[in-house]
A and B are shown apart, each in its own frame.
Chain A
Amino acid sequence: MDGFSPEIWQSLGLTIELASVTTVILLIVGTPLAWWLARSKSLWTEAVATMIALPLVLPPTVLSFYLLALLGPNGPVGLLASLWGGRTLAFTFAGLVVGSVLSALPLVVQPIRNTFAAMGDRPLEIAATLRASPLYAFFTVALPLARPGLLTAAVLGFAHTIGTFGVVLMIGGNIPGRTKVLSAFLFDFVQESRWREASWLAGAMLMFAVAVVLALTLIDKYSRRRST
């Protein structure tokens, strides 16, 4: 560990910050989206679900390319932003967050959608007969019952963002202290043949991944026991 420069600790902080901010945004955006996908009978749900699932199959570079085109200084959003005196999102932390949110969205929406769908109409109907308005029923019945799905989604979103790489290079630009996260550090170590540091970092990230999968399994087991 003594071989690690202070930069790597800075990068670790940055990585965790990115993952946390992304996870919070993912839950805020993903939960209502999953609710709508699970309960609406509209034909649009499948179209929207397909759009959300795209990052699963697209190479992250392709996703980032379109984001850059959209958010970059010459993209429509970038131009709009500059009109208001705003800065472009390309090569910034905010841009990184947008990219991470989009690429992890399917991983977050799917488990929440499944829990909402499995819950069925019953608990909400009962809540309605007990004078609960739809909004009150959502917060007091649907959300608490969906807790296992929300936990799974949060863990998946967090872990996926920790390991994000393509988006970092394309949108973030790998700027130390601003957008250089751990996965990018590993890439640089290997490029510079610093194998010792590379293996330490890779090992740490491997351990993290194991911990995440273990946590997911435990959450699943816990929620199963509760429901029986």
Chain B
Amino acid sequence: MSGSIASFPLDTRFSVPAKGVAAIFGPPGCGKTAVARCIAGLERLPAGFCAIDGEVWQDKTTFRPPHLRPIGYVSQEASLFPHLSVRRNLLYGAPKPKPTPIAFDEVLELLDLAPLLDRSPSHLSGGERQRVAMGRALLSQPRLLVMDEPLGALDSCAKREILPFVERLPEKLALPMIYIGHDMAEIERFADHLVMMERGMVTAAGPLHVLQTDPALPLAASREAAISLDAVVSGYDWRYGLLILRLKGARLLVPAPPLAPGVHQRLRIAACDVSVAREAPRAGSILNVFPARIRACLPLGAAEITLVLALGTGGSGTEILARITRFSFDSLGLKDGVDVFAQLKHVSLLSASERPLQTIPASTPTADPGDRQATPRRETRSSAREASGIFLSLHSCRATHVT
């Protein structure tokens, strides 16, 4: 392999629910962009198959050309039309008869585009250009939004500017989205479903939280390991300013501004913010201490170990990760199946979500751990044959792709 061009056969097969955000994650050059281009119809692999929401876009006999596929496509470069103003760029793909499900004013507000309308694309910053590109894709009234590393070409400052807008899209619009990226820190903020790719192959696919805690996958064993899931707001402690969140097997107290009960809140718990104790601590400053059972132990380097813990007595609740030293591991006498107390030192709240959790039945983040075995990896999930799913299968003897 040389340079940024990887040459390998693409053999990708996955299906994700046609609801919420499905992220395709993999190192640069693994064929993610090829997948996006195949969904958009910009590339045609001879033996490919692509069905969206029960509609076949490509199989042996049919190939729907890109302009007849109702998708919104946002790529790394904004590729605005330089000869059109921002306004005319936005309206380029918008259907001519006016009333549309995704309204012009709504998109302007969502992406804060109003101040840019009469400018020329050459006078926009990278982040602004990307926002216009997203707005343009949305106004073409897509039924599926495909974002191919929309933040990839931006510097970290512009990334911070854009990320809140990207996060807001799935919340505000009931639009399924495929988000392609190589930065887990972005993906864990808003993805519901995850497809992991390497060298043109899908290595795993499933609900984000399930893959994050899967001991067989590299995510749990990585240094930045964390879990992200949607919890339900169950109340607020006005006296101390604590938000009460419900998880399966735990009731979290997090210092935060109040939210309406029943609202879904995305939270992230990093492995390094969780420690364990053999006995319930009698007095301590950590608010969130729960009984848990060790499900797996993954060595991390020579000195540390990442534990997969299932919350709740008997370990029937949500799985989280904890990072401890090997010294503590040995001195506490820990091993698989041991009951411990998990101490959550810090829980980060990400964007508040108004989506009902039930929209993605198979990928409900609080799924019973027992369901995990029912979620076959490296395989087509059972929902593939259901009507409301995105099913994609790509094969090529030899494909050259630049990501």
Binding site for B on A (CB under 8 A): 122-123, 125-134, 137, 140-141, 144-145, 147, 226-228
Nearest residue, chain A, Cβ from B69 = A129
Q: List 22 A-B contacts (CB under 8 A).
A: A125-B42, A126-B73, A126-B81, A127-B81, A127-B92, A128-B65, A129-B40, A129-B67, A129-B69, A129-B71, A129-B72, A129-B73, A130-B92, A130-B136, A131-B67, A131-B93, A137-B67, A140-B92, A141-B81, A145-B82, A147-B83, A227-B82
A147 CA to B92 CA, complexed, in Å: 19
Check A126–B79 contact: CB distance below 8 A. Answer: yes
| Chain B residues, Cβ within 8 Å of A141 | 81
- Alpha-carbon separation in the docked complex, A127 to B133 (Å): 12
Q: Return chain B residues, CB-CB under 8 Å to A122.
A: 77, 79
Q: Mark B103-145, 1 if CB is under 8 A from A, else 0.
A: 0000000000000000000100000000000001100100000
Of A132, A226, A228, the contact of B92 (CB 8 Å cutoff): A132
Closest to A147 in B: B83
Asked whether any CB of chain A lies closer than 8 Å to the CB of B66, the reply is yes
Q: How many A-B residue pairs have CB under 8 A?
A: 59
Q: Is the interface of A mostly helix, strand, loop or mixed?
A: helix
Interface residues on B, range: 20 to 34
Beyond A126-B73, A129-B67, A129-B71, 9 additional contacts (C-beta under 8 Å) are A123-B81, A125-B42, A126-B75, A127-B67, A128-B66, A129-B73, A129-B93, A131-B68, A131-B95
Q: Are A131 and B122 within 8 A (Cβ)? A: no
* B82 in contact with A226 (CB, 8 Å): yes
Q: Give chain B residues whose Cβ lies under 8 Å from the Cβ of A127.
A: 67, 81, 92
A141–B80 CA distance with the chains assembled, in angstroms: 11
Binding site for A on B (CB under 8 A): 40-42, 65-73, 75, 77, 79, 81-83, 92-93, 95, 122, 136-137, 140
Bound-state Cα–Cα, A54 to B65, Å: 38
Q: Which residues of B contact A137 (CB under 8 A)?
A: 67
**Which residue of the partner chain A has the closest CB to B65?**
A128
**Which of B66, B72, B93, B140 has the most A CB atoms < 10 Å from its CB?**
B66
Give the 4 A-B CB pairs with smallest separation, nearest first: A130-B93, A129-B73, A128-B66, A144-B83
Cβ of B55 to closest chain A Cβ, rounded Å = 16
What's the nearest-Cβ distance from chain A to residue B213, in Å?
Answer: 36
For B72, list chain A residues within 8 Å (CB): 129
Partner of A123, one of B65, B66, B69, B79: B79
* Cross-chain contact of B42 among A129, A144, A227 (Cβ < 8 A): A129
CA distance A209 to B374 in the complex (A): 79
The residues of A that contact B71 with a CB separation of less than 8 Å are 129
Q: Considering residues B68, B70, B71, B93, which has the most beta carbons from chain A within 10 angstroms of its beta carbon?
A: B93
If the complex has contacts A125-B42, A126-B73, A228-B122, are A132 and B81 also in contact, measured as CB distance less than 8 A? no
Asked if A130 and B140 make an inter-chain contact with CB atoms under 8 angstroms apart, the answer reads yes
Nearest A-chain residue to B80, judged by Cβ: A126
- Quote the shortest CB–CB distance from B52 to chain A (angstroms): 14
